[in-house]
Amino acid sequence: MLAGSTLVFLLAHCTHKKEERKEEQIRVDASAYADDKDSLLNSIQGNASFNQLTTSPNAVIMTGMPAHRLVTVYKSNRKGNAAGGNYRYYKSAYDEDEGEGFEHFMPGIDILYGYNLMNIAHYDLNDEKLNFLFNHPALIKTLYYPSFVPDSLDKKPINRDYYLVSVYDEDTNRDTLINRKDLRRFYHFDATSQVKTQLVPANYSVVRSQYDPRNDVMYLFASQDANKNGTRDQKDPVHIFWISLKAPAPAKRLY
């Protein structure tokens, strides 16, 4: 995890005897409310276009859809190199009873998170087409994508064919910058990456998530921008939404 990151990943591992998968939670550090240097470094101008910024590809990401590959695009530093890097959650495991295994973030889903990660390019090897998830500079916090290594849920093969993205994509607090002081949005992209759906209402900022393995559901904790100042305040109420990972659609409120 990068220094200054606002997210701390807490993984509660359940025993194999209970046949329960781990629960993942994403929490926002209290420093999210501080005016620290990291907020300014990991920022972009709110009205900037890609033509006004220098970017650099970093890596090709393999997905569980054979013809679909992703490219991470970062803001470049003064030397023209990517001013950031790919950070993937994965855990190789070895169990005497099961042999070598691979533990995914959620069944069939891996994640990638980065610093100064501005966009994700999607390439279809069959159609030989390239397109970008966002048409203007954004700061992507977390990308959820179909796992390259086969996975199962309740001992049944599971295949995902979509992408989920947690991102700061608008200068919601009108301070001329896009950074973690703005509201964090949560989107679903279809397999082609060209159909985008906002899953949590625009007046919320996603805080953390929790996985429900019994129902294959993702719970999203989100802070409501009650005073409409475009930023997350400690006094803002937190509500819980849920989406089905079988077929993600606009989230339903649970609490």
**Confidence tier at 22 by pLDDT (50, 70, 90):** very low
**Confidence tier at 189 by pLDDT (50, 70, 90):** very high
Q: With 70 as the cut, is the pLDDT of residue 100 above it?
A: no
* Selection from 19-23, 79-83, 108-112 with the highest mean pLDDT: 108-112
**Confidence tier at 35 by pLDDT (50, 70, 90):** very low
Average pLDDT, the chain: 80
2 assigned to some structural domain? no
Question: Which structural domain range is residue 175 located in?
Answer: 7-253
Q: With 90 as the cut, is the pLDDT of residue 212 above it?
A: yes
> How do residues 58-72 score in pLDDT, each as one tens digit?
899 999 999 999 999
Average pLDDT over residues 27-56: 65
Average pLDDT over residues 106-116: 89
SS3 171: coil
Least confident of 72-81, 106-115, 185-194, 213-222: 72-81
> How do residues 124-170 score in pLDDT, each as one tens digit?
999 999 999 999 999 999 999 999 999 999 989 999 999 999 999 99
Answer for the pair 173, 152: CB distance below 8 angstroms, yes or no.
no
The length of the chain, given as a count of residues? 255
What DSSP designation does 106 have? B
Average pLDDT over residues 5-30: 37
What total of structural domains would you count in the chain?
A: 1
What are 211's two structure tokens?
A: 């996985």
18 assigned to some structural domain? yes
The predicted structure's pLDDT at residue 79: 52
The predicted structure's pLDDT at residue 41: 63
The predicted structure's pLDDT at residue 18: 37
Of 181, 185, 186, 198, the closest CA to residue 232 belongs to 181
**Confidence tier at 103 by pLDDT (50, 70, 90):** low
Distance CA 170, CA 13 (A): 35
Least confident of 20-34, 41-55, 94-108: 20-34
1 assigned to some structural domain? no
> How do residues 160-179 score in pLDDT, each as one tens digit?
999 999 999 999 999 999 99
% of the chain surpassing 70 pLDDT: 73
The predicted structure's pLDDT at residue 40: 53
Per-position b or e across 89-118, b if 16+ CB within 10 A of its CB? beeeeeeeeeeeeeebbbbbbbbbbbbbbb
128 assigned to some structural domain? yes
46 assigned to some structural domain? yes
